Chains A and B, each alone.
Chain A
Amino acid sequence: MARVELRHITKTFRGLVALDGLSLDIGDGEFFVLLGPTGAGKTTALRLIAGLDAPDAGSILIGGQDVGTWSAAQRDVALVFQYYSLYPHYTVRENLEFPLKSKHRRMGASEIADRVARAARTLRIEHLLERQTDRLSGGEMQRVSIGRAIVRQPRIFLMDEPLSSLDAKLREILRAELKDLQMRLGATFLYVTHDQVEAMSMGDRIAVLNRGRIVQVGTPHQIYNEPRDTFVATFVGSPAMNLLGGTIRDGRLVVVPGRLEVQIRKDLAGRSGPVTLGVRSEDVAVGPGGGLEGQVYAVEDLGVEKIVTLKLNEHLVKATVSAQMAVEADSTVGFAFDPGKLQFFDARSGVRLDPVNGEAATATPGHT
């Protein structure tokens, strides 16, 4: 168990910048998630910490010590990948024992047996110990992969999309199991994913990465409710936050003159010109007397709720409504935005306009 610090890490591959001055501080015992689209640099960061690659510049500290010159083995971290790297002709028990039997560990047989038994109990795979790994289901195989990491009792667990090759239902189950596991072990987890639901549901904190840079670090609640820019706002949350381009005129943000205008926050009163309005689908109320009017473009019944897409001129706005609400496609309905939940972004940079001072947030992201 250890704290992990990344300081101004830069990494390029054949002239392409994969990581650009990345700084992170991951607390001891924290479940920390690196979230971003393909190519954001998440896996690169993980490999640098593991010691599988070396950074071009910057330093990596584990437990306060600079590990720049340490080998992967010396760093004492465990990696779990998307695809299970198990020995197919061996039993689950043999797979779990393997990392403990390496020569430089010199571990006694009873210690090995004890650690395997504990890991198997933790992961609820005791009944599978004598089974060959090629006879396991995907979920069981991934549990064994995680077991191989646990038996080593590493200082840090690094996980690279460990659930993404599993089906939706299994992912959902293992999500909760992994979170539970991390809490019970009290271990430092660094978890890489492109799936915002995984990030939100498991992370103590999330770092959102895009193009090799950190856009925002925060708790799931902060990331969702105070996204730093339009990238975070639309990457996190489903449906994606509605974004509407408008212009501030006389204290109002005008998206469609006369038809879609909202009162701006007091602190933005001095501003003029183009601003992007952001509103989440659950903050759009559909019903008469809303003040706004749109045509129902599509209705999606998800069972637990409905997502209604409203069309107003060329703009599409998604609203989450109760599953019981009757909404006719092509009909005209009233709707309203929750005035307290509106977000405003700089139209050019996409950066959120801070509610306190009305200026674009300027604090350096990364360190918190």
Chain B
Amino acid sequence: MADILLRDVEKHFGDNYIIRKLNLEIRHREFLVLLGPSGCGKTTTLRAIAGLETIDGGEILIDGQAVQRRRAAERDIAFVFQLFALYPHLTAYDNIAFPLRARKEPRNAVERQVREVARTLRIEALLDKRPSALSGGDMQRVAIGRALVRRPKALLMDEPIGALDAKLREEMRAELKHIHRQNEATTVYVTHDQVEAMAMADRIAIMDAGVLQQVGSPGDVYQHPANLFVAQFVGSPIMNVLPAAVRRGDGYTSLVLGEDDAILRFPGALYAEVVERRPTDGPLAVGIRPEGVLVSRQALDGYVPLEAHIVEPLGPYDIVDLKLGRRLLRCRTASRYVERAGDTVWARLDEKQTHFFDPRTGESLDIRL
């Protein structure tokens, strides 16, 4: 078990930067997810920690020791790939036992450790089977078992459940999280799937174009995204982002959305906050997640009438697109709350869930109402 420190890590091919000045601390026993779109540098970062990739600048410290010049085998780290790299001719038991036997551990110690790992992973009944007789999820459990049994300082996983079907991924998410709590290996997990990241991580590190955008707990990055990229990468449906302006009223602030498409009454303090935090009197972007749009079938004070454009039933709830000028405002309602497209409903934005961004830099103004 270890803590891992990345200090000013860089990787580039000529002018093409894969990773730029990356500073990241992965804490002892933490489950950290590196999240981002393809090409953001997350896999390169993981491979650099493992020693499968060299770096062009900066340092990688494992338990305080600089390891960037050490070979992969000397870093005491286990890697789990998306595709299960199991030995096809060996049983699940022998696959898991393999790294222990390679270390020439005594037979009964091997047996004890394999059984223990198998119990954690709930694959005790499968130990006599060969990989070809296992389902995708079970194969991945065996692959993880083989990584865990070595008791490595850290466990690195590259989209380990990306190849599984949707239902199995959903099951494995909870399983992996449970397994992590059982063995408490420091884990770095790479994915492009924000649901997976949110579901499993203690903390998420979000990358884009080689640059770290934000690090925080799932609740943190969801509720307080540092910039528009994070705001719209995390969460589904995507956060609504609308151009906006503020006007000072008597004891309140008018928030004007779009091209005067809706005017909402916000607390008086908002105006001063915006003026203080925005460098010049430039444009403003407002972000609101679908669940932050409050919807009523009846006219209510402070709500504006909007026409429903499309209703998407998802089962437990509906996603409804409301027409706001030439834009759409996506909201989440109870199932069948808005009966059909064309209906008029009343809506406002929940102040506590409204985000304010500088649209030119994309940075959050960090205004919390």
A interface residues (Cβ-Cβ under 8 A, vs B): 37, 167-169, 172-173, 175-176, 179-180, 183, 195-197, 200-202, 220-221, 224, 234-240, 280, 282, 297-304, 307, 309, 316, 318, 320, 323, 329-330
Contact = CB atoms under 8 A, between A and B. Distances in A.
9 contacts: A167-B192, A168-B194, A183-B310, A200-B313, A235-B167, A298-B177, A301-B219, A302-B218, A329-B181
A196 B315 CA distance: 10
Contact of A238 (B170, B192, B217): B170
B314 A172 contact: no
A202 B195 CA distance: 21
B232 interface: yes
Nearest to A200: B314
Interface of B: 37, 165-167, 170, 173-175, 177-178, 181, 192-195, 198-200, 217-219, 222-223, 232-238, 289, 291, 309-310, 312-316, 319, 321, 328, 332, 335-336, 341
B202 to A, nearest CB: 10
A200 B315 contact: yes
B166 A238 contact: yes
B173 A240 contact: no
A320 B328 CA distance: 28
A236 B315 contact: yes
Contacts of A221: 313, 335-336
Given A282-B316, A323-B219, 7 more contacts: A195-B166, A197-B314, A297-B174, A301-B218, A307-B174, A309-B178, A320-B316
A302 B237 contact: no
Interface majority SS (helix, strand, loop, mixed), chain B: mixed
B332 A304 contact: yes
Contacts of A202: 312
A245 to B, nearest CB: 17
Contacts of A304: 222, 235, 289, 291, 332
Q: Which 7 A-B pairs have the closest CB atoms?
A: A303-B222, A300-B199, A201-B312, A298-B174, A224-B315, A301-B218, A298-B177
Nearest to A318: B174
Given A200-B315, A237-B315, A238-B170, A180 B291 contact: no
B198 A176 contact: no
A344 B291 CA distance: 32
B167 A179 contact: no
Contacts of A280: 315-316
B329 to A, nearest CB: 12
A278 B232 CA distance: 35
Contact of B174 (A180, A224, A309, A330): A309
A320 B315 CA distance: 13
B321 A176 contact: yes
Nearest to A224: B315
Nearest to B235: A303
Given A180-B309, A303-B235, A323-B219, A330 B181 contact: yes
